[in-house]
Structure 1
């Protein structure tokens, strides 16, 4: 099979549409060269340097302990807004939420600073639909750096732009709260992600304004981003594929541990509509516990999950043989790591051949196994 190839940037939408319609497969064209967006690259470099400065202050200024705790609280609050809100609720519709919970999660997602929920969901639905191909915004086939942060420093591949327009966003377009956050995102972000986090330590903890800025904004923001990015990079490259060997994402204990449950990525891509995003909900999966807590107090309902039979059949049908119960010794022995051979080791990785990630134009399911890509082109979903 041959992946769709396209050299250089395509400015002719009609030509691109023709290619997509007539092509049998979409993969990765390694000859394509992404154009660097220098203002983004320089901006992220500066932010990372300021983050290192902030981390240095955390280590050396022990009197800033309250500020550190405040920063950690904000960091994981923002992460919850992304993982529980933007990801499991709004992208995959794995459960339903009351208006009160929606507002709460939208506020937390704004803290994370990963763009509005609308844009985040659009990009993530595109990622699942065309995972690890040129139509994936952070295609892991282009290497660790690209799928971790490089994709944010470069112009989008033409397939990302055009196929992104075809992702169905009608459910979010009909949601007034989502569209309100999208319209006023930067004002809201300035208030809840910058002003409040920086002002509170200055006023209540007698923190110096520079220390508060470096620790409570720069360090918190960049560390949180890198935690999220590890799901796009490490959880697509270093681990095992017990549920579907044809999917690039892997099971990563390391990523799951530091992200509170987002690293069981082979399972998640196999069953994207499962609210747990993992087979074992209590195994490094704080986010699933949070959703069940919301259910218990009446704020979340209609939690979706894959049945044991469905999971078992998927493992036996398409897994790589490394499942902890249903796997086989031969496949389990085909695992290596730099240092201790333990799943918590970030380099823990199966030596079995990774999939080619060449997909048909309709892509992969988003919500359930019978899901198909809508044929109508929905305009207005691409950010400038």
Structure 2
């Protein structure tokens, strides 16, 4: 209805969309614009990764071992760092741990802590709507990686501006990484992991780089599976009304982030699961950091509250004699 609409520009300032009577951008009028730079970079990364796999027999054991270690460290920078610590504030970390997680997060090269946290808070508040950066209702490919290949839906930009980020702005570790993100990320993700096996094990720089690129590609897909697989496939014992599901495959490769129906039901539980450290390396890491005094104030949802929610909104809710 023309009388109820107004002009809305995207972040590029070039796309014009109309707002409907509810104030949301009409998805039918949203002009999808491809980000060709991202298409080229991600396509190149996958070509290099496939080539790396074809040369796997030529890599030194030290280089492969380092690749596995950096996969785990980069993953923890996402799961224990930007996700559970900075986005959800599900526990607190002392300065040495925050610095370590910032370095690990830079190794993962998935955007700065500030940008990642802002977008993820937007995702939780507006999950599976046009304001969700990786809205799973737009299909598997879009929620997995396609959302990075097109301009953000105007609703993501518009409603993302209302997300509270004061805590992030006042964290000096976040501010430092945000200011120097590009050189930090390139150094931590590619340069240092390539130089170490070259210097210590006599690996060729080409092979060392190929392993780093493959590790980076696998880290990306592990994270993306949380947005796609864990939002589309699995059971929903805690809240059957939402898309996020319990996906064991995702939990296995994403260091414990696949218990997604639980996480979206209880987003502030530091373990993102009621099963403790089971298939949850991130929870084990945080618990160890707490043991040595670097993590504290871990937030936990009580068993009674969890069981009550299961009976109220879970897939087995309403069944007499249901066992939990």
Q: TM-score, normalised by structure 1?
A: 0.77
Match of 1:75 in 2: 71
Match of 1:210 in 2: 206
Deviation of 1:185 after TM superposition, in Å, equals: 0.8
Higher relative contact order (CA 8 A, sep 6+): 1
Distance 1:127 1:243 in 2: 19
Match of 1:261 in 2: 256
* Structure 2 residue runs without a partner (length 5+): none
Pair 327,265 (structure 1): closer, same or farther in 2 beyond 3 Å: farther
Picking from 66, 83, 87, the partner of 2:83 is 87
Distance 1:244 1:320 in 2: 7
Distance 1:301 1:134 in 2: 36
Map Cα deviations across residues 36-70 of structure 1 (whole Å, 9 max, x no partner): 11121121111100011112222x22x52210111
Q: TM-score, normalised by structure 2?
A: 0.91
Distance 2:66 2:195 in 1: 11
Distance 2:123 2:117 in 1: 10
Distance 2:10 2:34 in 1: 20
* Structure 1 residue runs without a partner (length 5+): 1-5, 330-384
Distance 2:150 2:17 in 1: 22
SS at match of 1:134: coil
Match of 1:123 in 2: 119
Structure 1 runs (4+) deviating above 4 angstroms are 16-20, 30-33, 326-329
Deviation of 1:73 after TM superposition, in Å, equals: 0.5
SS at match of 2:257: coil
Please say if 1:201 is aligned against 2:197.
yes
Picking from 232, 255, 265, the partner of 2:227 is 232
SS at match of 1:10: strand
Please say if 1:248 is aligned against 2:243.
yes
Question: Conserved in 1, the CA contact under 8 Å of 2:74 and 2:106?
Answer: yes
Match of 1:276 in 2: 271
Question: Conserved in 2, the CA contact under 8 Å of 1:239 and 1:251?
Answer: yes
Match of 1:106 in 2: 102
SS at match of 2:8: coil
Please say if 1:137 is aligned against 2:133.
yes
SS at match of 2:268: coil
Picking from 42, 49, 52, the partner of 1:51 is 49
Distance 2:317 2:168 in 1: 38
Pair 244,144 (structure 1): closer, same or farther in 2 beyond 3 Å: same
Deviation of 1:190 after TM superposition, in Å, equals: 2.2
